[in-house]
Amino acid sequence: MDNNKETKERLIESARAEFSEKGYTKASLRKICADAGVTTGALYFFFKDKENLFAAIVEQPFNELKSLLLGHFTSEKEMSLSEMYAHIDGGHDELSAALIHHLYANYEAFMLLLTKAQGTRFESAVDEMVDMTDKTYRAMAESMARQLPNKQVNSYMLHWLSHMIIDAFIHLVTHEPDESRAVGIMSRIMDFYVRSWVELVLEGK
Amino acid sequence: MDNNKETKERLIESARAEFSEKGYTKASLRKICADAGVTTGALYFFFKDKENLFAAIVEQPFNELKSLLLGHFTSEKEMSLSEMYAHIDGGHDELSAALIHHLYANYEAFMLLLTKAQGTRFESAVDEMVDMTDKTYRAMAESMARQLPNKQVNSYMLHWLSHMIIDAFIHLVTHEPDESRAVGIMSRIMDFYVRSWVELVLEGK
Amino acid sequence: MDNNKETKERLIESARAEFSEKGYTKASLRKICADAGVTTGALYFFFKDKENLFAAIVEQPFNELKSLLLGHFTSEKEMSLSEMYAHIDGGHDELSAALIHHLYANYEAFMLLLTKAQGTRFESAVDEMVDMTDKTYRAMAESMARQLPNKQVNSYMLHWLSHMIIDAFIHLVTHEPDESRAVGIMSRIMDFYVRSWVELVLEGK
Amino acid sequence: MDNNKETKERLIESARAEFSEKGYTKASLRKICADAGVTTGALYFFFKDKENLFAAIVEQPFNELKSLLLGHFTSEKEMSLSEMYAHIDGGHDELSAALIHHLYANYEAFMLLLTKAQGTRFESAVDEMVDMTDKTYRAMAESMARQLPNKQVNSYMLHWLSHMIIDAFIHLVTHEPDESRAVGIMSRIMDFYVRSWVELVLEGK
DNA sequence: TATGAATGAGATTTCATTCAT
DNA sequence: CATGAATGAAATCTCATTCAT
């Protein structure tokens, strides 16, 4: 038993393992406690309940991810079309590198969040992220549409592309273990994605 | 109590509702039986166990879907580049219309399969479909690479695009309730996908 | 499926197998019916309940065995000592041969009765047989004691020897598959038993 | 409710009663818990499962009994015939007194073990004991046969006598409640048994 | 004769959670 | 900070049995 590590840390570690193996609902708190070398009572000193324990693993990384997503784009100020194109082109690599770094730095937490959260309040995490992306780019798309003649936003495509971009990140983190390679791949995907974006989201009125 | 409908039918219907609401693992057989107006014993006359009940809802539509995916593309015969391009361009609309029709005809079953199957043997259904797509197109991609100078297949991109296309279908069925609109949307997405494919999958050696 | 054999016969056969394998309590009527190729309802046409089914296998052989045991010795008439000795010595071989024949002729039934009847009204079958033997020989022992000076019956020994003789038969049928060899063995055991009996059952007052 | 006694003790006591009444398989854990004044969950804090609860009652006494049986006779060293006879004669009273004491000291446990264990891993306890006795005496019998002219071991009789001796103990504990009387009875049986042993086990070649 | 369907009670086991110490 | 004990509800599943057809 790792008596050096604090009990709370050991609990979080065995929770990670158990949630990963069985998924949230089927995971057993007894097993988690036994693996951590404590009794169930101890768990309840540190965590309010099962969901809270799960949250202790995924919540902070998730919130930071949301901050990254939100912080990137300030939808307040109105931009000109050329400013926008520049912003899109230049901004993506920075953003995606930061996102990728964050994802890989919290690899296990995001694995849990993305694939084992059914039954928790995080089960719609992907949807949340998609919605944030959707909102962020909707503002921009609408501004663009206003500045171009006879163009309007195709809501379905906007949403789907938001989904696609989030999925691209998830796919990356679940399939490519090496972070620097991941940055390269994502750069290529993003280039392509940016070019497609205007074409798919804006359609003739 | 719906005494007209057969008991088995009623059980399947309340199972559908309960699985949809709570997910496979948290769904309660008691509740399902109570909703169907029978005792738990009755369920076990018709279904071997909980997983078997879930399978009774999703298995057949899933198998048919896999047949559709497999049947579409005969990877055996070697094609010329131009045949391939034609095949890609033309083939997709037929396939996707058939797929979309099948998905919408079994709407609830696919919802369960795609979003509530954690804990069952179907929990990797998406992966399976992605792998099938991946295999199908890998053969074509490699054939293309052989016919073009200095080109090779980028495995990561191939797999990601397979994921993307499957996700596109899932996204469609989970976001667009109208089937004919869905066909229109998918046609546009497929155009985009085909272009992406050629551009991203084959890279300079 | 053995469609020649009557259903009842098939049911009894699969019941024998299931009871042998699992013991009465853990045996499953469903399994018995399935093995016999009928549904549970059919069983209840032929047998009142589970115990009745078990009885259908063991009751008749058991009753016949009890008749054999009882018929052998007519405790009514008073015998002289010498008649008694003669009876004991000579009678045993006939009796035991008849018993052994009956046991082997109904081998499986007695296996069930002796080792798998826990939970049925037959669970005290061995005790019953021991008691019958005890009663039979008690009468004789007491008559003997009356005809001998300063002798009395040791009840414990009488009962234990009754137990021993029944156990000898059971041991035989559960350990020696060949009937004719069994007769030889039992002859030797009986010699021994007769001597033991005289020596142990009658003790000084 | 007996709040003085520890819960575990109360559980074991009501388990003893329930197992005695219904046999292992038909015994109800619900009833045991209710009788002990706790909920079913409490039982699983102390015992892994139903069989483990049964084992908690019978296992230790059974193991001690086996130790007694094994410890008694050291089959290693070769003895002369006269040593053997002395050993047999003298050894039995000690051994049997120790055995009887142990049996009576754990009266209820052995009742369960011997008559209610069907369905548990102890269901062959009697066979185990018989086999131990058989092995122990086989060595001695074979050594004897080697030292006598034209004699060989009759395996069937050896095994039967082993059975008989074990049965004698079981019969004693199930029929004679008074321990000191039991010692007296067993002494007499053993005398007799020892004399018979040579006669029955060794036969002419 | 036998089926197919259903009952209703009961089985063992597991769970998250609580709390006095 | 942690234990050991216990709760109480719920879980899935199996059982012998019944009965209309």
Distances (CA, A) of B50 to B57, B112, C63: 11, 14, 47
What tens digit of pLDDT does each residue of D83-99 get? 777 766 666 777 788 99
Search chain D and give the residue with CA nearest C127.
Answer: D171
Inter-chain Cβ pairs, chain A and chain B, closer than 8 A: 57
Which chain D residues contact residue C156 at CB under 8 A?
A: 175-176, 185
Distances (CA, A) of A192 to A88, A109, B157, C96: 12, 29, 12, 97
Residue by residue, pLDDT tens for chain B (205 residues) are: 445 578 999 999 999 999 999 999 999 999 999 999 999 999 999 999 999 999 999 999 999 999 988 876 554 456 777 777 776 666 667 778 889 999 999 999 999 999 899 999 999 999 999 999 898 888 888 988 999 889 999 999 999 999 998 999 988 988 898 999 999 999 888 888 888 888 888 888 7
B156 contacts A118? CB cut-off 8 A: no
Residues of chain A short of pLDDT 70, as ranges, are 1-4, 72-79, 87-91
Any strand E atom closer than 7 Å to D26 CB:
no
Distances (CA, A) of C176 to A111, C111, C114, C170: 65, 13, 15, 10
**Which chains have 3+ CB pairs within 8 A of D?**
C
CA distance A25 to chain B (A): 7
Q: Which residues contact A59 (CB under 8 A, 6 or more apart)?
A: A122
CA A175 to centroid of chain Cα atoms: 15
Distances (CA, A) of A139 to A73, A135, A148, A152, D174: 10, 6, 15, 12, 89
Any strand E atom closer than 7 Å to A92 CB:
no
What tens digit of pLDDT does each residue of A7-61 get? 999 999 999 999 999 999 999 999 999 999 999 999 999 999 999 999 999 999 9
Helices (H), C73-117: 81-105, 107-115
As given in the structure block, the two tokens for residue C150 are 């300063």
**C-alpha angle D129/D132/D133, rounded to 5°?**
90
Search chain B and give the residue with CA nearest A171.
Answer: B160
C156 contacts D176? CB cut-off 8 A: yes
Q: Which residues contact B77 (CB under 8 A, 6 or more apart)?
A: none
Measured in angstroms, what separates residue B61's CA from nucleotide E4's C1'? 28
Distances (CA, A) of A191 to A90, A184, B196: 10, 11, 11
B189 contacts A176? CB cut-off 8 A: no
As a whole number of angstroms, the distance between CA B171 and CA B159 comes to 18
Any strand E atom closer than 7 Å to B180 CB:
no
**Cβ-nearest to B25 among A26, A164, A171:** A26
Which chain D residues contact residue C200 at CB under 8 A?
A: 188-189, 192
pLDDT for D136 beyond 80: yes
Which chain C residues contact residue D116 at CB under 8 A?
A: 118
pLDDT for residue D94? 77
Q: Tally Cβ neighbours within 10 Å of residue B42.
A: 16
pLDDT for residue A200? 87
Phi and psi torsions of B152, nearest 5°: -140, 165
Search chain C and give the residue with CA nearest D21.
Answer: C119
* Residue C153 β-bridge partners: C202
Q: Do chains B and C touch (3 or more CB pairs under 8 A)?
A: no
pLDDT for residue D199? 85
As given in the structure block, the two tokens for residue B134 are 């991946």
Give me the residue label for tokens 């919802």. Answer: B111
3-state secondary structure of B119: coil
Q: Do chains D and B touch (3 or more CB pairs under 8 A)?
A: no
What tens digit of pLDDT does each residue of B72-93 get? 655 445 677 777 777 666 666 7
Protein-proximal positions, strand F, CB < 7 A: 1-20
- Residues 38-67/C with CB < 7 A to strand F: 40-41, 43-44, 49-51
What tens digit of pLDDT does each residue of C121-148 get? 999 999 999 999 898 889 889 988 999 9
Search chain B and give the residue with CA nearest A115.
Answer: B118
Between β-strands D151-153 and C202-204, what pairing exists: parallel, antiparallel or unpaired? unpaired
Q: Tally Cβ neighbours within 10 Å of residue A142.
A: 15
C192 contacts D200? CB cut-off 8 A: yes
As a whole number of angstroms, the distance between CA B121 and CA B51 comes to 8
Mutate to test the interface with D, among C124, C160, C195 (most CBs of D within 10 A): C160
Residues of chain C short of pLDDT 70, as ranges, are 1-4, 72-78, 87-91
Q: Which residues contact B108 (CB under 8 A, 6 or more apart)?
A: B16, B20, B57
pLDDT for residue D47? 96
| pTM of this structure | 0.88
Q: Which nucleotide is nearest to C50 (CA to C1')?
A: F16
Which chain C residues contact residue D119 at CB under 8 A?
A: 23, 25-26
As a whole number of angstroms, the distance between CA B161 and CA B195 comes to 11
Distances (CA, A) of B173 to A75, A159, B127, C135, D25: 30, 13, 17, 84, 52
Q: Which residues contact A108 (CB under 8 A, 6 or more apart)?
A: A16, A20, A57
Helices (H), D27-80: 29-36, 40-46, 50-72
